[in-house]
Chains A and B, each alone.
Chain A
Amino acid sequence: MMRAFVEGVGLVGPGLRGWAQCRSVLAGNEPYCPAPTAVATSELLPAAERRRTGMPVKLALAAGLEAFAGAGRDAAGVATVFASSGGDCDNVHLVCEALAAPERQVSPTRFHNSVHNAAAGYWSIATRSRAASTSLCCYDASVAAGLLDAASQIAVEGEPVALVVYDHPYPEPLNAVRPLGASFGAALVLTPRATARAIAALDVVFVPQKAEAARMDDPGLEALRAGVPAARVLPLLAALARGSPETVILEYVAGTHLRVAVTPCA
């Protein structure tokens, strides 16, 4: 078991413009209205970098910064865990496309932005953070992998950690073989002890058995959860939004799951 406290939450997705605005939708008190994901570019990046960043970086930055704002904490110096099932899909496609053409002209910027940890790199530049950062991939279970790693860092190091999950669809032709539904990003600022801004405690347990993942009640949100790997975090956010003690199951690698007990802070 590992325990972490949620201090801040960030969220950006289709029809989901921020945790503050969406709490009540996630709690089931208001209807969910899908709309294309809209995300602003962060002012924190230097202008030259801002032009080069793609959607995945924007998703990660927007969600992460909202979580830190909610936590009232400076991002500089806080370790981060980034988890995505595909990383920067646009750049990967464009590089493959360029390589299939006779000239094989690969843009240098596209190349270094196509690494799986591009979001982590831009995050550290934007927040001026020299803290450690890791970038994970666990296919559809990337959220669970990210949460497990973040929780283990909390337990062992005793310092705050931010978890940022994001996914952005591939363009065709990769989209047809790996449809990723929609652009989605979410973030949690986690701390080892309850602080003034703590929303809830999460007790995370790894269970080496298969189990059904938690689902969303709203059909639109459930479609989002099932369609976008990063959106597998939605039931956890819903539990935080509802403010009642619950256990959330997250599917992890084949034949295993995470059991997350959510206990709201008084």
Chain B
Amino acid sequence: MDRQLSHLHRAATHPYLKAGFYSWQFARGKLRYDPVFVMLLRRGLLPGHGRLLDVGCGQGLLLSLLIAAGEQYRSGDWPRDWPAPPLNLDLHGLDLRPDRVRAARRALEGRARIELRDAREAEFPRCTAIVMLDLMHYLREEQQDRLLEKAAAALDPRGVLLLREADAGAGLAFEVTRLSERVAAAARGDFGPMRYRSARRWAAALEGLGLSVTAQPMSQGTPFANVLFTARKSLRNQDETADRRR
């Protein structure tokens, strides 16, 4: 299993060599240490078809991972107890940083559509999956709410919205998270304020949009206080397969 994971890691990060050494290093570190990527694949949280939008996609690492996962699955080298990764998603990403978008486009070479856009202004296409990782705390609270509304509206009735944020109610772990984000932002020259909520308030905001929410800690192996929220428009029911076809 570890061998399969390192193979996947290598395949997902190798394309970033085209974007430059720093991009590649960053991709390697992020993919290795952030537990959300493996979690998404192991738990099969993403649908197999339709369109995925990664809001604030950065270098497009999640998209690169999904492409590499699909190839690895097809070649037969896939952990037995993991479900198939998404094989037929139309992959889209948007980010407002030109250097990130450039790196993503170089690495992904047309296999995903990356747009240089501000998530607050952009129109979202219809999606079966919308992913927002570590994006919200850069926005003011009313912008966060509007973005969530926009995402919920663009979501297919059987789609999934994945949101990861730090839990402001998590005590010391949260303080560590906040500090680390502030340091990283300062290194980028970004000194704006960051706005957090408690996990309970995030869940309430999502539920207020008519979504059913499950939350799980996403900090394994890290000192941070991240929580992954999986929100759906309708309860996933194993027997209700009719409308999930295509």
> Are A and B co-members of a single complex?
yes
The interface of chain A, by Cβ under 8 A from chain B, is 1-3, 73-74, 76-79, 129-132, 154-160, 192-194, 201, 203, 205, 263
Residues of B with C-beta under 8 A to A160: 241
CB-CB nearest in chain B for A154: B84
B74 adjacent to chain A (CB < 8 Å): yes
- With A77-B239, A131-B241 in contact, do A203 and B83 touch (Cβ < 8 Å)? no
- Option from A129, A158, A263 in Cβ contact (under 8 Å) with B47: A158
B246 adjacent to chain A (CB < 8 Å): yes
B81 adjacent to chain A (CB < 8 Å): yes
Interchain CA distance A35-B81 in the complex, whole Å: 41
- With A77-B239, A78-B241 in contact, do A158 and B246 touch (Cβ < 8 Å)? no
Do residues A157 and B245 form an inter-chain contact, with CB atoms below 8 A? yes
Residues of B with C-beta under 8 A to A77: 239-242
Interchain CA distance A91-B143 in the complex, whole Å: 66
Interchain CA distance A192-B49 in the complex, whole Å: 14
Q: Is the interface of A mostly helix, strand, loop or mixed?
A: loop
Interchain CA distance A106-B75 in the complex, whole Å: 51
Residues of A with C-beta under 8 A to B44: 158, 193
Interchain CA distance A193-B244 in the complex, whole Å: 16
B29 adjacent to chain A (CB < 8 Å): no
Interchain CA distance A205-B88 in the complex, whole Å: 18
Do residues A192 and B83 form an inter-chain contact, with CB atoms below 8 A? yes
Do residues A158 and B84 form an inter-chain contact, with CB atoms below 8 A? yes
Do residues A130 and B242 form an inter-chain contact, with CB atoms below 8 A? yes
- Option from B48, B76, B83 in Cβ contact (under 8 Å) with A156: B48
Interchain CA distance A192-B83 in the complex, whole Å: 7
CB-CB nearest in chain B for A152: B87
Interchain CA distance A192-B81 in the complex, whole Å: 11
B-side interface size class: 20 to 34
Q: List 25 A-B contacts (CB under 8 A).
A: A1-B73, A1-B74, A1-B78, A3-B78, A73-B239, A78-B241, A79-B245, A131-B241, A131-B242, A132-B245, A155-B87, A156-B48, A156-B87, A156-B88, A157-B246, A158-B44, A158-B48, A158-B83, A158-B84, A159-B241, A159-B244, A192-B83, A192-B84, A193-B44, A194-B81
Do residues A74 and B239 form an inter-chain contact, with CB atoms below 8 A? yes
B188 adjacent to chain A (CB < 8 Å): no
B80 adjacent to chain A (CB < 8 Å): yes
Do residues B84 and A155 form an inter-chain contact, with CB atoms below 8 A? yes
Nearest chain B CB to A245 CB, angstrom units:
12
Interchain CA distance A142-B66 in the complex, whole Å: 33
Interchain CA distance A76-B237 in the complex, whole Å: 13
Do residues B78 and A201 form an inter-chain contact, with CB atoms below 8 A? no
CB-CB nearest in chain B for A203: B76
Q: What is the 8 Å Cβ interface bit string for chain B, positions 42-84, against chain A (1 contact, 0 not)?
A: 0010011100000000000000000000000111101011011
Interchain CA distance A205-B75 in the complex, whole Å: 9
Nearest chain A CB to B111 CB, angstrom units:
17
Interchain CA distance A77-B245 in the complex, whole Å: 9
CB-CB nearest in chain A for B72: A1
Interchain CA distance A157-B78 in the complex, whole Å: 17
Do residues B84 and A3 form an inter-chain contact, with CB atoms below 8 A? yes
Do residues B75 and A156 form an inter-chain contact, with CB atoms below 8 A? no
Residues of B with C-beta under 8 A to A193: 44, 83
